Every structure is written in C-alpha cells, then in structure tokens.
Amino acid sequence: METLLRRLTRGNALVFIIILGIGGSFQNGFHVTVISSPSPYIWSFINSSWIGRYEETPPAQTVKLLWSAIVSMYAVGGLLGSMSVRCIAVRFGRKRAMIWNNVVSIVAAVIMFTSRGANSFEMILIARFLFGFTAGLGANIHAIYLGESSPKKIRGMVTLTFATFISIGKLSGQFFGLREILGREDSWNILLCVSTCFSVVQLLTLPFFPEAPRYLLIEKGNTEACKKALQSLWGRGEYKLEMTEMVLEQAAIKGETSKSLLELLRDRSVRWQLITMVVMYGCIQFSGITAISVFSFDIFKEAGIPLDKIRYVTLGVGVSEVLTSITCGLLIESVGRRALLWGGFGAMSAIMILITITLNLKDYSFWIPYSTVGLIFLFVIFYGGGPAGVLPSLTHEIFIQSCRPAAFVFTGILRWLGFAVLGLVFPFLIELLKSFSFVLFACMCLLASFYIFFYLPETKGKTLLEISEEFKNITLCENPLSDDKTLETRL
C-alpha cells in the first residue's frame, strides 16, 4: 500500500486522477441518481408552466409524456456523446476534448438554472440532453485518457478509478438530493446543476496537466513529449519499458490511422474482443444494478421498507458501492481480472435469486424486508468489487491504439442503449412479473459468469499486443473465430 501511494505521489498522478475523475465519470454517476429526488417537483413545475402559458390544466398523459421525455433526453444525449468520442478524441486529443466537454456542461447548467425563472420545461429538456451528451463523451474520454497515461504495472488500479468516480457521482446525487440539502421544491434547479461546479474545477486545472503519453507517441510520433508527460505524471525516470511497449505497438499498427466504428466491426482480428464487450456490457446493464440505481425507491417500497427510511437506505447503498470499488482497486493487480469478473457475476446471480425469494415472503415475518435490504447491499458490494471495477480496465486493455477510440464508441452505444431500454421496460416488467423480474437478471449474470470463466483470457501484467494475440488464439468448438477460412483442393 505504501509503495502504491508513493508511486502515485512521486509526480502529479494522484491529483491528475482526481481532476480527471470529477469532470469525467463522476458526472455520469451523478446524473443517473440525482433526477430521482426532485421528480415530484418537476412534475409540479411542468403542470404550473403549462397552466401559466395556456391557461388550462394539461392532461395527465401530457405531463407524464413530458416527464418521460426529460428522463430519456439524458440517455439520448449520452448515446450521441458516446458516438462522438472517436471523432472528437482523435481530432482534438484527449485533454482538449475534456476541456471543451466542460464548456458544454457549463452551458447546460446555465440553461437548467434559468429554466425555473423562465417558466420553461423545454429548457429542462435541452439541458438534460446536453448533460447527457457531456456525460457520454466525458466518461469515454476519461477512460481512454486514464488508460493511455498509466504504466503497465498499475494500469488496472489506475483505470479502475473510472468506476470509483461513477460510484462517488451516484452517492453525491443521492446526498445532494436529500431534503436537508437541496431536495426541496425551491431548489430543484440548483440541485440538477451541482455537478457543473466540478466541471469548472476541471476546466481551470486540466490545462496544467500533460496530454496522454500513449497518444503523444503512437499517434503523434512525439517521443520527447511522451517522455516529459510520463515524468510529469509519475516522477523522474527514463520509462524505457513503457516507451518500448508503445514503440512496439506503433510498429504493429504500421502507421494505421484510427479505425472508424464500421471498420472495427468488419475487422475479424478483433471479433472476440467485440463479442466480449457485447456480453459484458449487455449483461451488466441487465444484471439488475441499473434497476436498483434508478428505481431503488420502488424496489425498497415493494420490499416493505418504511417510506421515511428509504432515502437513507439508498444513501447507504451508494456508500457501499464506493467502498467496494476502492477495495477492488487494491485487489485487481494481485487477484487478476478474470476471477473478480466471473466470481462477481456468479455471486450477483445467486443474490438475485435470493432477493426474488425474500420479496415473495416479505409478509411472513417482520425481518424479511430487512433481509432484502441486506441482500441488495451484498449485490452492490459484489458489483462494485467485480464487474463495475474491472470492466473499464478491460475495455482499455483488449484493444490496441488504432482500435481503441472506435471500441469506446461501440461500448458507449451498448451502455446507453441498454440504459434507455431498461429505463423504458423495467417499470412495465416489474408490474407484469413483480418480484420474478429479478430471475431474468439472475440469468444474465450467470451467462456472463460462464462466458468469462470459459473464454476470457487473463490480462493482468501483459502488454496490449500480448493480450491481442491471446484473443486471436481463442477457439469455439476448436475453430478459431478470428482466422480467415481457406479452401484446400487437390489441385
């Protein structure tokens, strides 16, 4: 632990990780949870705004439709932001892309803050879209920037801070949404702008940090700037091992430019990596964690928890996710990625079955609803200590430099589409299947666990080229999926 801390404080790495996090994945986590608290006040605002404009009470379905649009606009913006990653990150570089992303976040905050005074629900729609765009773009660039700035020996731990800041963002959204803080009718517009304060901090401080070293050497060919960037972040040293790895990767791609998403999808050499991402992101979105984050109030209410206690139980869930994410950071380089992933998904599957049982037995005894809460805490612990922590590191490690921006576009589309679909489907799913909807989540977790156990290679301590070669050697029914098929004849 002391060695790790000394490594992070030898240069500016620790401050860099914090500054990058508060303007990156923190924003994503914050906006996922913060919208829950002021929802009744926004409903009321839509109603009063409509009456003030048209001098008549709006139909209930119209208000419901506008509220759904406000919620879903965040996902639409996030999807478009993720799709813009390759274009913006390659053209402007990682650092400048993050800086401009903060400017858009500030514009969104100004629109949101003034919407109440302007009596305009349309401004809320625009602001939510822009917040979603900055969250989708910023989170992906954050992950790329971290991975391209970290040494191989602690790459997993550094990239895992991406997940830690998502958890901190979720917790912050829940905390600021408490009635005692900003969760009141007279301050809902301020509540939805709080995260922009952190964007301003990043905007003012990030220009003093270097561009990603791997980007400088592999894409820009600037060896001297790469070395200076490494020294600025990690302290004095020659960094021959890190720079040799970058030079080898640069030679392997033979000056190939960054691939587009379509080129990536057509590339048979990364077919297994893409399949892995589809399985991982698909299963993590439908593992139940998004449902717990967004619909926690309804789930705890269904479990029988008193209404006045639910917000504080939800806050406790957020705290446990942050703590387990930090713990995962301490374990990832010793335990490895595979064990944390398949073990985490396996445990989550078993817990979802137990939650289904306790929800059906909640009326049999007073302690059963509280056991449901305990199981949800346990679920979040295994999620934060496994899939949530490892996945950002894995996404960076299994794609080489020329494929990485397009790969993050691909994973961003998977993540935001999954978020949007689940947000639309889950309320109807829980109404139709009740507690048995959690059995579907258990099946998805089990599928991910089996796939990881049988097919995913370990990436700990390996160069990106070595990892790429291991994926090429994966076989399905003793046939390599990524190799081109050839036809042999007697002639």
**Long-range interactions of 36-40: CB distance < 8 A, separation 24+:** 36/173, 36/177, 36/294, 36/296, 36/297, 37/173, 37/174, 37/177, 37/178, 37/183, 37/191, 37/311, 38/177, 38/183, 38/188, 38/191, 38/192, 39/67
Helices 387-397 and 121-147: angle between axes, nearest 10 degrees: 60
**Long-range interactions of 294-300: CB distance < 8 A, separation 24+:** 294/32, 294/33, 294/36, 294/422, 294/423, 294/426, 295/426, 295/427, 295/430, 296/36, 297/36, 298/427, 298/430, 299/376, 300/373, 300/376
Structure tokens given for 7: 């490594």
Measured on CA atoms in the order 236, 241, 244, 248, is the torsion positive or negative?
A: negative
Structure tokens given for 448: 């991910």
pLDDT digits (tens, 9 = 90+) for 258-274: 788 888 888 888 888 89
Question: Is pLDDT of 484 > 50?
Answer: no
- What count of other Cβ atoms lies within 10 Å of the Cβ of residue 339? 17
Question: Is pLDDT of 97 > 90?
Answer: yes
Tell if the pTM clears 0.85, that is, is over it: no
| CA separation for the pair 459, 333 (Å, rounded) | 10
Query: Across-strand partners of 476?
Result: 479
Give 475's pLDDT tier (boundaries 50, 70, 90): low
Q: What is the mean pLDDT of residues 346-353?
A: 93
Q: DSSP for 14-46?
A: HHHHHHHHHHTHHHHHHHHHHTTTTHHHHHHHH
DSSP E strands in 231-359: the ranges are none
The confidence score (pLDDT) of residue 333 equals 73
Question: Is pLDDT of 430 > 80?
Answer: no
How high is the mean pLDDT of the chain? 84
Query: Across-strand partners of 480?
Result: 475
Q: Specify the DSSP element, H or E, that contains 475.
A: strand 475-476
Give the dihedral of Cα atoms 166, 172, 178, 182; nearest 10 deg: -120
Sorted by where each starts, the structural domains of the chain and their CATH numbers stand as: 7-209 (1.20.1250.20), 256-472 (1.20.1250.20)
Give the dihedral of Cα atoms 150, 156, 162, 164; nearest 10 deg: -130
Q: What is the mean pLDDT of residues 28-37?
A: 86
pLDDT digits (tens, 9 = 90+) for 447-464: 999 999 988 888 887 777
The better pLDDT of the pair 359, 116 is held by: 116
Give 314's pLDDT tier (boundaries 50, 70, 90): confident
| CA separation for the pair 57, 60 (Å, rounded) | 9
- What count of other Cβ atoms lies within 10 Å of the Cβ of residue 489? 4
